[in-house]
Amino acid sequence: FVHRIIAACFLGLNIENLFEQEYENLIKVFLENLGLAIWDCRKIDQKGIYITSFYYQPILKGKYIIFVRNNTYSNFVEIGEVRELFGMLIHESAQKGILIASSDFTNEAIEFSKGKPLELINRKNLEQLLQKHVGQRYLKKMNLMVIK
């Protein structure tokens, strides 16, 4: 337990300690806090979930496809997963595709996403976004807060 707290001090949020369902629920809360309405959420494989969501506010209004990957099995998300997201984006006629990962992305995956309506959110960016957009009470409840 002490090691978990010490690790949290250095790493920001300790999302690596979450069970798969907890991680997925945390991402759903985050997306809802951003104003996205979740239409559909389903498991795509052992690696994560596929979310179809809609943003109703003017200017950014539209359909969003989101892949949520819990990459405890690998340090990097490969280009194939980003291509899969792009294919779904086109198939669903969505405004934007977002891939949220608890790891990082390969250089090839990053290069592929450039110039496309895709956003890749790695662990570092995810932790910053969670701290900004998810209530502190919720993070404390999940034992994710940094002890300062």
The residue whose two tokens read 């949290």 is 8
Q: Tell me, what's the pLDDT at 146?
A: 47
Task: Please tell me the pTM assigned to this model.
Answer: 0.82
Rounded to whole angstroms, the Cα distance separating 16 from 122 reads: 13
Q: Are 119 and 97 in contact (CB under 8 A)?
A: yes
Q: Are strands 36-45 and 48-55 parallel, antiparallel or unpaired?
A: antiparallel
Give the E-state strand segments of 1-146 in sequence order: 36-45, 48-55, 62-69, 76-77, 96-101, 104-105, 118-121
Distant-in-sequence contacts of 51-55, Cβ < 8 A, 24+ apart? 52/92, 52/94, 55/95
Q: Are 14 and 144 in contact (CB under 8 A)?
A: yes
Tokens of 30: 């985050």
Q: Tell me, what's the pLDDT at 143?
A: 59
Kind plus residue range of the DSSP H or E element containing 11: helix 2-11
Q: Tell me, what's the pLDDT at 18?
A: 76
Q: Tell me, what's the pLDDT at 9?
A: 35
Q: Tell me, what's the pLDDT at 142?
A: 61
- One digit per residue, the tens of pLDDT, for the chain of length 148 reads 333 333 333 345 667 777 788 888 889 989 998 999 999 999 877 778 999 999 999 999 999 999 998 876 678 999 999 999 999 999 999 999 999 998 999 999 999 999 999 999 998 999 889 888 887 666 666 655 544 4
Neighbours of 25 (CB within 10 A): 14
